[in-house]
Structure 1
Amino acid sequence: MKIAIAGGTGMVGRKLSKLLLELGHEVIILTRGEQYMKDGIHYIQWLKDGTTPELYVENIDAFVNLAGVSLNDRRWTKEQKQKIYDSRMESTDEVIRILQKLQHKPKVLVNASAVGIYPISQTAIYTEQSDEKATDFLGTVVTHWEEKAQKAEKLGIRTCLSRFGVILAKDEGALPMMVLPYKLGVGGTIGSGRQWLSWIHVEDVARALLFVIENENLSGPINFTTPNVKRMKEFGKAISKALNRPHWLSVPSIALKLALGEKSVLVLEGQHVLPEKLLNAEFEYRFVSVEEAIRDLYSLH
């Protein structure tokens, strides 16, 4: 297959590109940088005045849109929140513009999304059938993001909305922030410990993205989480066990709010989100156990 990826230089994009190349697929990455080819990947410039990426993605089989400013990089100031929002809206608008221009349209658009679309709750269990939507910052971003991506359906393109949970990766995302206290010997329960953490290993994210591309029966919202959702206290104990470090010092919510500001919601609040569609389609996870996922990421086999 010939697959175009927007946001292909990020954490998930790199892992997906590597998987696709290993399986013999052709990869095109849309980038704000210069146009070039490296390691078998065509890098095509986009989101700059005068660029015409549509000329280079004709006859692609699938389009994957992962573009957007990271939620984890900086404190959520008013300006940073605007960047998070605008980056997703502008890139998705551009994806739809490109798709409209193509004479031969791809069979599927897989657009990134997030479980933050579901309201925070300690009691509710959400699947793709759940209609409830959060109205906080993340919920608003994701709702508007999905609405823009769904415009591809009017072009006759199967559209999948990949609602990512907390993606576990060694050096990026939320995991390093959670692992660091354990490495320093001061790990423990974050906040109340009762908040849910719907997680997934970054390798399973890449594999699930390819699975969705190949499975014509999947469309609409798709939860990218494992079925083994954990409360934060249980997740912390799993990190402690995997790294063989103590789990004893609690981290008060107020301390994280002071340190991280509004971004602290990423670890202090959560939702219990199940991947009903992936399970029904018989997607096979490689990492369902938190301990196994942590050991793999930190090479502790």
Structure 2
Amino acid sequence: MKIIIAAGTGFLGKNLEQFFLSKNQEVKILTRNPKRNNEIFWDSKTIGAWKNELENADVLINLAGKSVDCRYNDENKKEIYDSRINSTRVLQSAIDECKNPPKIWLNASSATIYIHSETHLNTEKTGIIGDDFSMNICKSWEKECFKLENKNIRKVTLRTSIVLGKNGGAFPKFKQIAKFGLGGKQGKGNQMMSWIHIDDFCEAVNFIIENENLKGEINITAPKPLTNEEMMKQLREKLKIPFGVPSPVWLLELASIFIKTETELMLKSRNVYPEILLENGFQFKYDDFGKALEKL
């Protein structure tokens, strides 16, 4: 297969690239700063020569979007929104101009589309979607992707939870916090943490590509979310750190100003279940956090 990954130089993109290259697939990366032979310039806003790569490609994966690990001021909010909507919109325009466009388009989304929930398990069918900045970003993002229906193009939005890997994402930060002795519960600690190991993330993307009956919104997360308090406890035990100072909400609010992030990233309860993947026979290598920790 020929696989195009838009904005594929980050944590998820690099791991997907290596995954597909290991299967002898051809991978092309659309990026603002091309440095390698398989990287093509795009600005994520306008159609350019990169459009030619979509012609006769099999798969398009769009991961574009400014990181939400920032302060939610007006400037950053606008960039978070624009980077997701504009990239999705320009890819749609490019696809519309192709004679032989990709057969499947997987567009990034987020498990944060669901409400803060400590008890209700959000599946694709039963998930409750609310109304705040983060949820509205996800709703607009998915709406833009599904706005137009193209014949013979299967569209999927990947409602992805926290992805855990050694070479990027959240896990190195969790590990560092625990090693500093600050690996206690964050806030009340009863917020649910939905997560997925990077290997299962890549396998899930491949599974969706290979199963032609899968389309629409799909939760990309391990089947066993756990509380923040339990997650940090298991991490401390694995690292043999005897204690972890808890972080009350007021302290997190203060710290988030200095490290330029938002407490929502740690305090929102993401209680998400991958019903569609499991119903269609996907098997997780790391279905509980303990197994994932062993690998990590």
Please give the TM-score of this superposition, normalised by the length of structure 2: 0.93
1:35 offset after TM fit, Å?
Answer: 7.1
Q: Which runs of 4+ in 1 moved over 3 A?
A: none
1:179 offset after TM fit, Å?
Answer: 2.4
Alignment of 1:65-144 (within 5 A): 65-72=62-69, 74-130=70-126, 132-144=128-140
- The answer to whether residue 222 in structure 2 is matched with residue 226 in structure 1 is yes
1:140 offset after TM fit, Å?
Answer: 0.7
Aligned residue in 2 for 1:275 = 274
Percent identical pairs in the alignment equals 36
- The answer to whether residue 37 in structure 2 is matched with residue 55 in structure 1 is no
Write the distance in 2 (CA, Å) between the matches of 1:156 and 1:247. 55
Aligned residues: 292
Q: Which residue of 213, 218, 223 maps to 1:217? A: 213
Write the distance in 2 (CA, Å) between the matches of 1:121 and 1:267. 13
1:125 offset after TM fit, Å?
Answer: 1.1
- The answer to whether residue 24 in structure 2 is matched with residue 24 in structure 1 is yes
8 Å CA contact retained: 2:185, 2:232: yes
Q: Secondary structure at the match of 1:122?
A: coil
Q: Secondary structure at the match of 2:64?
A: coil
Alignment of 1:178-189 (within 5 A): 178-189=174-185
CA distance change for structure 1 residues 290 and 131 in 2, over 3 Å: closer, same or farther?
A: closer
8 Å CA contact retained: 2:11, 2:167: no
Write the distance in 1 (CA, Å) between the matches of 2:46 and 2:117. 43
Write the distance in 1 (CA, Å) between the matches of 2:264 and 2:182. 21
Aligned residue in 1 for 2:39 = 43
Aligned residue in 2 for 1:266 = 265
CA distance change for structure 1 residues 2 and 277 in 2, over 3 Å: closer, same or farther?
A: same
1:185 offset after TM fit, Å?
Answer: 2.6
1:8 offset after TM fit, Å?
Answer: 0.8
Write the distance in 2 (CA, Å) between the matches of 1:170 and 1:282. 27
- AA matched with 1:198: S
8 Å CA contact retained: 1:182, 1:246: no
8 Å CA contact retained: 2:4, 2:53: no
- AA matched with 1:14: K
Q: Secondary structure at the match of 2:40?
A: strand
256-265 or 82-91, which moves further after superposition?
A: 256-265
Structure 1: gaps spanning 5 or more residues: none
Write the distance in 2 (CA, Å) between the matches of 1:121 and 1:59. 43
Structure 2: gaps spanning 5 or more residues: none
Aligned residue in 2 for 1:287 = 286
